[in-house]
Copies of this chain bind each other. A is one copy, B any other.
């Protein structure tokens, strides 16, 4: 994509000024329109060293209202960022609806630098690229407009600029050590970048090569491209609205005719109190040791609890963490999203909450809400929750690629047992707050939730993040099964990675 680009294009100063006056007004209007139409926009700037990125970005920013954007400069990851998967720092910075996030270098620069630093074979690079394809597709599927710009200059031009910088004393101290190789490796990096650009030039997130030997020309091209992209998106949305008005909606859900996985489960397995007590003590002691093994090896662990209301998620979690060091684990209850969360991609809140390397993240309900409560209660549309199976698998694959161990529990009780527990909660004084009208309403939709759970268990049980169904009519049995499953997974993972 970089070959045969005509880099001789220029724009004289006076012409540039006139065009910019005009584009600035257009840009201002579009920014306000996108804001009103709730379109979230992500603009990625990549390019060679000395391609004039700072200056071009600054000129671009000056056409925008500061109310509507955030600029994110991507440099060396800080300690916290190093303890999370590469894409975490970008996921957490996606804009809310109607706003713009501008990345001054992005996940691409990080991949290029990391690739060079580690000098690993292409296998790792493939994983990286597929993770970021997930990322970009999830965003654009979720309504984000993604504009990717590569500022391209010739090697001669780069050399010339380096010479000028030396003369004018532009501060070199801003350039980080790890970038030095890229700084002086035009010919070495050309084929690498060419390859990455080609592989990631997807219909949902295409690249625009910006000829940047002339800064005026480049600035105008950047601005024109952004304006064009936003205009197209606005047209698309307006057409879609028209289309929807004229069409009868007929997205139908085909009922699940496969046999149910859960119906075959007998949730009645049990343990005596003595068995429970002895096992519990053993398990908790073991977990305490394993927690430090995870920390020492910087392996993050995620434990997800899903299941029926009153199936014992809270009690299971409390026994699991009883002897753990609170500095190394966190329990995250997942409820109704906040207004801030609603204005972003639904996975945003979960990226914000992933455990750092060596820590344990425990979730009392989770991202599976998308295909459970949000599906059953019509909180998202059919297209959205159907897409979510793939998105969730991709999300977990991305975490797993980073080294995260993922354990997922479906806490299973039958309808009679639930009724018994609801009634007990109503009876016992200090348990009453645990039972709300919502619980009774959910119970009425038992079969809808059963279908949803069945489909979820089928479609999201992967080799990297399998589900475990926990027979939970008996709390003793259930708690021990949870602890033993977690212990088993940690031990086998440590073994597999040659750490034990």
A-to-B contact residues, CB < 8 Å:
25, 28-29, 32, 54, 57-58, 61-62, 65-67, 71, 73, 78-80, 104, 171, 173-174, 292, 295-296, 317-318, 321-327, 330-333, 335, 338-340, 364, 430, 433
Contacts and interface: CB of A to CB of B under 8 A. Distances in A.
A364 B54 CA distance: 22
Given A71-B326, A104-B326, A326-B71, A331 B54 contact: no
Give the one of A28, A67, A295, A364 with max B CB within 10 A: A67
20 contacts: A28-B430, A28-B433, A32-B433, A57-B326, A58-B322, A58-B324, A58-B325, A61-B326, A62-B318, A62-B321, A66-B331, A67-B335, A71-B327, A78-B79, A171-B292, A171-B295, A173-B295, A174-B325, A174-B327, A340-B340
Contacts of A66: 317, 331-333, 364
A62 B322 CA distance: 8
Contact of A321 (B58, B78, B79, B330): B58
Contacts of A174: 295, 325, 327
Contacts of A326: 54, 57-58, 61, 71, 73, 104
A296 B170 CA distance: 12
Query: Which of A67, A296, A327 counts the most chain B CB atoms within 10 A?
Result: A327
Q: Which 3 A-B pairs have the closest CB atoms?
A: A66-B331, A78-B79, A58-B326
A57 B329 CA distance: 12
A333 B67 CA distance: 6
Contact of A173 (B104, B296, B332): B296
Given A171-B295, A340-B340, A330 B430 contact: no
Nearest to A173: B296
A37 to B, nearest CB: 15
Contacts of A338: 339-340
B78 A330 contact: no
Contacts of A78: 78-80
Contacts of A430: 25, 28-29
Nearest to A102: B326
Nearest to A66: B331
Contacts of A58: 321-326
A79 B173 CA distance: 17
A239 to B, nearest CB: 25
A148 B482 CA distance: 36
